[in-house]
Structure 1
Amino acid sequence: MNLDFSLILVLITAVCGLLWLLDALVFAPRRRVALQHAEIQAQGSLPDEQRTALLRQPSWADTSKSMFPVLLFVLLLRSFLYEPFQIPSGSMLPTLKIGDFILVNKYHYGLRLPVVNTRFVSNNDPQHGDVIVFRYPEDTGINFIKRVVGVPGDVITYRDKVLYVNGVAQQQELLAKLPPSRPEQLLLNEALADTSHQIYRDIYRPVVNGEWTVPDGNYFVLGDNRDNSKDSRYWGFVPEELLVGKATAVWMHWDGVLSLPDFSDIRRIN
């Protein structure tokens, strides 16, 4: 079962806001009326202790009042500005490592309503080379991260582990053979449109050949760890409505509970 944190945050924020509003509109006036009646019966002002006791908010109202502004701030921040994500797999190596914590720009591709993900303010469209977070088309409760290699109208060909965009091979420059003594993997610099990035290519893994035409409103994505990534070659295109945001930076690396967070490799995502 995949928990939808956005839905949980929206519900908790709404409940806290409603409880705070309920107290302000219903129970707080009743407390003030009770104080007035008590002062009339006492024929004067009550001692401070009694006034405080009569006007004191119940614990549920006090907690809601304290939590609501904080929850609302977090909700607005992660829904419309930036949201942190953790990299769970090696499909984007060498660009992103397992345990990297990244920031995702939520407004770069337009503002979207939380939970339903409907865009209500348009902005930029994904471009070749962008690293994007999106909802996995086959299970929208899971977020994926891949690199955009095809935009609407492109013809994408993957042949003999070389990427072609509209019939043009994207140049690959060999940087290293890993490990050097008995190579099993190649580290390459791949040019894509006006950008470049590093990719891994396994020497002995079988090739996945194919050709795809990207339809309107959809994108073709690949993992940088080409032979160890389930991406558009296997399950198809990413519809625009499933976009979450653009991955912009790595702000922390943490291998797990038995290690300390590492802030020494803060970097932009290319």
Structure 2
Amino acid sequence: MTGRVFGALSCQKRAFIYTFHLAGTFCWFKIFNEHFYELKASDGPSMYPTIHFQGDWLLISKHYKNGRDIGFGDIIVYKKPHDFHSEVAKRVVGLPGDYVLKDPPLNGETAVEKDAQMIQVPEAHVWVSGDDAPWSIDSKDYGPVPMGLILGKALGRFWYPFNYERFENPLKPVTVGEH
């Protein structure tokens, strides 16, 4: 019966109904994408090997927008402080009040330079670093990132054909006095 009634509608009315449903679907998708989860393509070597240069899709949770519930070692997506049109993914290595080494030793080196600079992360900011530090443009280059620029937290990655890997936090915070 429903098929006959729908079939009896004029072509104009059917087009209106299809358009209405399509617009509704688009609105729900947009709301979901803005407020809950989003997929973003990876691009660049700075987070390798955690995130590959290309071909990975990051699952971003918007629950963490503006730094809400962000923790040490989380991978976040944020707008670059000096280029609001660029969005990047980096790992949080300093939270408000933490002291961080501006230029940490690279590639397994343990010696810290004599003129190494310690920086305290200001309130409402985080210090970020790429997993592949030599290729990363991050807080060592432009300073702490305001939490207001954080778009979300990367929960994991998808890659071809239908694989998913949840990100685990490999970092452990060090407290003063530990060796």
Please classify the TM superposition score into its range, dividing by the shorter chain length: 0.7 to 0.9
Pick the aligned partner of 1:101 from 57, 75, 82: 57
1:91 is aligned with what amino acid?
S
- Answering whether residue 37 of structure 2 is matched by residue 65 of structure 1, we say no
Find the counterpart in structure 2 of residue 174 from structure 1.
none
- Answering whether residue 151 of structure 2 is matched by residue 244 of structure 1, we say yes
Taking structure 1 as the reference length, the TM-score comes to 0.52
Report matched runs for 1:99-138 at 5 Å: 99=54, 100-107=56-63, 109=64, 124-138=68-82
In structure 2, how many angstroms separate the alpha carbons of the residues matched to 1:58 and 1:160?
64
Indicate the percent of aligned positions where both proteins have the same amino acid: 27
- Answering whether residue 162 of structure 2 is matched by residue 263 of structure 1, we say yes
Q: CA deviation at 1:124?
A: 3.7
Taking structure 2 as the reference length, the TM-score comes to 0.76
Find the counterpart in structure 2 of residue 85 from structure 1.
40
Q: CA deviation at 1:127?
A: 1.1
Report matched runs for 1:1-270 at 5 Å: 52-53=9-10, 56-57=12-13, 59=15, 61-62=16-17, 64-99=19-54, 100-107=56-63, 109=64, 124-158=68-102, 161=105, 201=107, 209-252=116-159, 261-264=160-163, 266-270=164-168
In structure 1, how many angstroms separate the alpha carbons of the residues matched to 2:102 and 2:39?
32
User: Could you say if the C-alpha distance between residues 244 and 56 of structure 1 is closer, same or farther in structure 2, counting changes exceeding 3 Å?
Assistant: same
1:101 is aligned with what amino acid?
W
1:202/1:227 contact within 8 Å kept: no
User: Could you say if the C-alpha distance between residues 72 and 148 of structure 1 is closer, same or farther in structure 2, counting changes exceeding 3 Å?
Assistant: same
1:222/1:232 contact within 8 Å kept: yes
2:101/2:118 contact within 8 Å kept: yes
Q: CA deviation at 1:159?
A: 5.1
User: Could you say if the C-alpha distance between residues 227 and 152 of structure 1 is closer, same or farther in structure 2, counting changes exceeding 3 Å?
Assistant: same
Matched residues, number: 157
Name the larger-Rg structure: 1
Q: Deviations over 1:68-126 (max 9, x none)?
A: 1111121121111110011100100111111211101111x25xxxxxxxx6xxx8431
Where does structure 1 lack aligned partners over 5 or more consecutive residues?
A: 1-47, 111-118, 163-200, 253-260
1:149/1:221 contact within 8 Å kept: yes
1:138 is aligned with what amino acid?
H
User: Could you say if the C-alpha distance between residues 64 and 202 of structure 1 is closer, same or farther in structure 2, counting changes exceeding 3 Å?
Assistant: farther
Where does structure 2 lack aligned partners over 5 or more consecutive residues?
A: 169-179
2:96 is aligned with what amino acid?
P
